[in-house]
Amino acid sequence: QVRLLESGGGSVQSGGSLRLSCAHSGGYGYSGYCVAWFRQAPGKKREGVGIINKDTDKDSTIGLADSVKGRFSISQDNAKNIVYLQMNSLKPEDTAMYYCATVPIADDPCSGLLHLDFLFNDWGQGTQVTVSS
């Protein structure tokens, strides 16, 4: 089991920036895992935003949703076990609750799992992002 705690959400104006943090601890035995950011706006389906492998030595690929490419980036501090979602040029349509989640992974790249939220085992409580026009 992986424990997750998100932080960094808030309210910003259109064009502004926020950096979300996901502190993760625990694990799945001998398996590595992917850490992903999802978001869900009221009345909308949950959407994968970005994903990264906890062990970049095994898999250095990063996945980002088309809707955020060029504006968002995902990175991590391995020493602190924190995954970041840097969000720039925010738009009102980015308004949502943002969650981080994890899924065990063996040899496949994490990037292929970005849109398969049903596979993810553990979820954080979420952090709200509100972008005003």
**What is the pLDDT at residue 61?**
82
**What is the pLDDT at residue 21?**
98
**What is the pLDDT at residue 58?**
78
**What is the pLDDT at residue 92?**
97
Query: d(Cα 13, Cα 70) in Å, to the nearest integer?
Result: 18
Give, in order, the Cα–Cα distances in Å from 132 to each of 13, 44, 96, 117.
5, 18, 12, 27
**What is the pLDDT at residue 53?**
93
Q: How many CA atoms lie within 13 A of 2 on its CB side?
A: 29
